[in-house]
Amino acid sequence: MQTELLLAEADALLARGRAHNAERLLAPFVGREPENVGAWHLITRARLELADRAGALAAAQAAWHLDPYGAESLFWLSHARSRLGDHAEAIAAAAAACREDPGNPRLHNRLAEAQLAAGLPTDAAEGLRCVVDMAGYDPDLLVTYGQALFAIGRPLSAREALGKALAIDFGHAGARAALRAFDKSMSTAVDAASLALAADEFAESLRIHPGQPVRRRPGAARAALRHFSRVALIWFLAVFTLAGILETFEVMTVPTSLYFALLCAVGAAGCISAAAGPPR
């Protein structure tokens, strides 16, 4: 029971964008219980969020050695390999995961991501074409499919895929980021030749080259900012309400300046929370 609680806490920390805290929580645990595959998965996830590529690969390999045919272990091994630019290994691990659990769209999405990172958008688009027909309810899958379609010069189909993703999850950060990238790429496309060039440049932007510096994903930072701003908003509203109650029952006199400061704080917290985006 304690193990389950600890892993659940680590998972919650990761969901709130606190990868560093999750990694610190899990590191001594896997030292005591190195056979726990789930803990190694979570450490891999945390280290990927922290851009610790070598550490993520070490954790993913530890899970894979314990569970060489597990789809989840192969998923994280593929993810870590992609970040390092080891594309053949990343694609092989993702393909093996798909064979182990062929009905799981998340695994097919990982395979397509690995192919895009390797500069193989045609393979990614072709591989996802049938999967999307069967699992069109998965917005992450639709976003990756849209990216692959745009990278092979099919912008209208790409936008259609992203539109479906947003219809499922209106606040999907990946879909909105992809749309912004599409708009930026299309701003220079005026004919067939420039469209092909824009598609090639977009495809190149998805590639990961060995030794390439890691660009930290904004999603974790936004999640943490969203979480703290909403906690602050709740506290400010609670204090504002308490002040009103105390003054109503003549327990104390609350200065007008305090009400004004609390209103400003509530407004600021609300604006920050809205800017950070809806939860995923």
Say whether both 37 and 123 belong to one domain.
no
Residue 159 lies in a domain: yes
Same domain, 90 and 2: yes
Confidence of residue 136 (pLDDT cuts 50, 70, 90): confident
Neighbours of 226 (CB within 10 A): 21
Q: Which pLDDT tens digit goes with each residue over 220-239?
A: 445 445 545 555 657 566 66
Residue 264, class by beta-carbon neighbours within 10 Å (0-12 exposed, 13-18 middle, 19+ buried)? exposed
Cα separation, 165 vs 280, in Å, equals 13
**8 Å CB contact between 146 and 255:** no
Do 134 and 224 lie in one domain? The reply is no
Residues 201 and 222 occupy one common structural domain: no
Cα atoms found within 13 Å of the Cα of residue 31, Cβ hemisphere only: 6
* CATH code for the domain in which residue 145 is found: 1.25.40
- State how many domains the chain has: 3
Confidence at residue 251, expressed as pLDDT on a 0 to 100 scale: 66
> Looking at the domain assignment, is residue 107 inside a domain?
no
**Does residue 113 sit within a domain?**
no
Domain that holds residue 136: 118-214
Residues 159 and 136 in one domain: yes
List, for residues 178-226, the tens digit of each pLDDT value.
999 999 999 888 888 999 999 999 999 999 988 766 555 444 445 445 5
Instruction: Scan for tokens 């190149």, then name that residue.
Output: 204
Mean pLDDT, all residues of the chain: 86
Q: Are 165 and 241 members of one domain? A: no
Residue 123 lies in a domain: yes
200 shares its domain with 223: no
